[in-house]
Chains A and B, each alone.
Chain A
């Protein structure tokens, strides 16, 4: 409850004021009436409350500060329902109730006090405030300039770094490409070597085969010649001399070769 009242204290105080104000009205009215009575009873030679042009709701409002109609029906006759024992505005001049009456002393006083105030405030407030506001303005301008400079610098650095990164990437690509190129070359060399080695091996093998073949042929020819000679000797039973022998071999060999 108290918390709610604290939160809405304006509304609550207004409501309370309304309630208590309304309740206390009769008491206030009693006081005003008593005052009016006392005023009426006071044996003064004052103004009879002279008739107003109108009557509010049929009741007479004794002693109440009637407002709004003091301007009419009133020459120099004091106020209606005036309490003669209230001397606070006795001996009133004609200007008393004019809201626009000119008080020259007040005007001069205000002028002087105001000039004094401008002088005091100039020292105590306006000049420092002006300076502080200018300082702040300058500070903001400086900060903006700083920020702009920083942004420019950052942009420049960014560009620089981007360029560097691009260069690095380029380099990396190149390195990779080179590596690939090297690998390719190595592979080709190895394959070439292998191929060469293989070729050499085959050639040697072919060579060996040729030699072996020739040797075998030689061997076969010699054997077959001997066999033929032996066979022929047997057949002719005659001995051939060595030269005949040789010629015969040669002839046989040629025959073999041709055949």
Chain B
């Protein structure tokens, strides 16, 4: 593993301890095709085939392959098609800079051609198991590859997605680790909450530890987040000038406050809270990882908040009214208003977008930061161990205790960030529903 960030980021395999999932492939054709695709021998063969049809400008086929060989080690061992594209891009950019023309379309190897070549190579079992196996034998790669693949359960890609490597997708829709984890979270929540809902049906009191725990959170989100942030029904009936109506408007004060409007949004906030807190907590389980440490997930969640804001705001003020409502009410003369109001509208709408993006970044940064600290502390122990000697015996307990303490902090942060995300979502939704 190269960079600890890769432990936090999404991947296309599940990692387990190596002894729990050992790999003992005996010949190259048994290896997963994504692994073979990245093997230097296979890539060389692919480069030769591709260079025949797509040599670099002004080079022969062999020169192109040789140029790729020089280039690849400094470029993460990218295959020939990447080299081809990058070289052409450089040339085109140089030309554009020289002539001052627009950058034209850059020559690249069509995906279908590349796929066909790869298919052709990977289907040639005989070649793989003889020539490639020979190279691997010579360099001791079979054993190393088995070692690296041990403990990696590669996720099958049923939707035709193509992987770039085990951490990145190339094309199409690829099923990643956190996508599966998210599905698991949904199923888990549906199961647990459904059981709870049946346990308290008809107003029975909650019994048992789990039910009471769930109820604490459910009631907290409803009574402490949703209702205060969005307000009671009477807040909406009063409109925005409720201050001077209180005196002579007695009929709302009859009976307890009702929260029908706030309760309409509560299920979304409940879902947000439970989804985020479960995802955050999964990050504390070794080998699982937290989906909320990935920008895509937090952006998706912020998208949910934004959609809810948009829909609930539009339901209160109408689709046009929602956008007009972004301008705060001001007493301005017509001449000034016609200048100022559009500018304020632009600022407010930009603010609306930024608020929701920041929501995503805040959650992401909190989860990534915590995991980075944990990785650093454990990395300290690993460094000491590799350095060898007695130092490891001093550093390791400190690192383990430190990691445990940070783990406790992470446990707190997991709940705190779920709360913060839910609270801010509620505030944004509430702000959109009220008159400015």
Which residues in A have some Cβ–Cβ distance to B below 8 Å? 14, 17-18, 21-22, 25-26, 28-29, 32-33, 35, 38-39, 41-47, 56-57, 59, 61-68, 70, 76-79, 82-93, 95-111, 113-118, 120-122, 124-139
Contact = CB atoms under 8 A, between A and B. Distances in A.
A93 to B, nearest CB: 6
Name the residue in B198, B200, B296, B375 with the highest tally of chain A Cβ atoms < 10 Å from its Cβ. Answer: B296
10 contacts: A38-B144, A85-B144, A85-B148, A87-B165, A96-B168, A105-B173, A110-B297, A117-B190, A126-B193, A130-B263
Nearest to B263: A130
Given A85-B141, A89-B2, A120 B197 contact: no
Chain B interface residue count: which class? 35 or more
Interface of B: 1-6, 8-10, 13, 35, 38-40, 69, 72-79, 82, 139-141, 144-145, 147-148, 152, 164-169, 173-174, 176, 178-179, 182-183, 186, 189-190, 193-194, 196-198, 200-205, 218-219, 222, 263, 266-268, 270-271, 275, 291, 293-297, 299-301, 303-304, 307, 361, 364, 368, 375-376, 379, 381-388, 391-393, 396-397, 400-401, 404
Contacts of A110: 182, 291, 296-297, 299-301, 303
B189 A47 contact: no
Contact of A28 (B8, B219, B296, B385): B385
Contact of A87 (B10, B148, B304, B383): B148
Name the residue in B166, B168, B176 with the highest tally of chain A Cβ atoms < 10 Å from its Cβ. Answer: B168
Contacts of A89: 2, 6, 76, 165-168
B407 to A, nearest CB: 11
Nearest to B34: A87
Given A87-B148, A96-B167, A110-B182, A125 B193 contact: yes
Contacts of B78: 91
B223 to A, nearest CB: 10
Contacts of A84: 77
Contacts of B165: 87-92
A125 B39 contact: no
A62 B386 contact: yes
A99 B382 contact: no
A103 B295 contact: yes
Name the residue in B193, B266, B386 with the highest tally of chain A Cβ atoms < 10 Å from its Cβ. Answer: B386
